[in-house]
Amino acid sequence: MVTRDDFISRFGGVFEHSPFIAERAFEAGAIREPFTAASVHAAMCTAFRAASDAERLDVLRAHPDLAGRLAIAGELTEDSRREQAGAGLDRLSPAEHARFTALNEAYTEKFGFPFIIAVKGLSRDDILSAFETRIANSREQEFETACAQVEKIARLRLESLIPEND
C-alpha cells in the first residue's frame, strides 16, 4: 500500500510546482492501486478543478514561459526542459526567440499568467500559431484553455511515469 508521502513524492510534480494537487487527490481517497495513468490523472484533475480560482491561477503561474528566461538560465524543471526541447524550443533562431519573448510578454501582461500549451507533438510553428490565435481570447476563455492545457500536460507526464504494464 502506497503511503501519502510516497504518492506525493512520485506524483507531486505532475502539476508544475503544485504538490497540493497530488496531496488533495490522495486525501480524497480516489487513488487506488494498481495505479494507471488514467486513474491518477482523473483523481488529480478532480482535485485541480475543485481548487479555488486563485489556487488554479497559482498553478498556471507556476508554469515557465516558453523559451523564456528560465530556459535560457537552465532553471526549468526536468519535465519542462524535456518538453520544450522536444518541440525544438531550445534551438530557436535569434528572430524566433525575439518573437517568443514578445508574445510571452504581451500574453502575460494581458492575462496575468504565462502562455501554456502541451507542446508534445507540436512544432515551433504550431506553437506560434496557437500563441497568436489564443492571445485574442478573453481572459475567461484563456483561463479555461490554459487549465485544460495544464491537465493535458499532467496526463502526458503521468503516462511517462506510469507505463502501461505498471
- Which residues are the active-site residues? 63
Q: What is the dihedral of CA 142, 71, 155, 163, to 10 degrees?
A: 170
Contact assessment for residue 157 and residue 14, using Cβ atoms and an 8 Å cutoff: yes
C-alpha cell at 133: 490565435
Q: From the CB of residue 21, how many other CB atoms can be counted at a distance below 10 Å?
A: 28
Q: How far apart are CA 131 and CA 115, in angstroms?
A: 7
What angle in degrees, to the nearest 10, is found between the helix axes of 20-27 and 4-11?
A: 140
Q: How far apart are CA 142 and CA 111, in angstroms?
A: 8
DSSP 8-state secondary structure symbol assigned to residue 65: P
Q: How far apart are CA 151 and CA 104, in angstroms?
A: 21
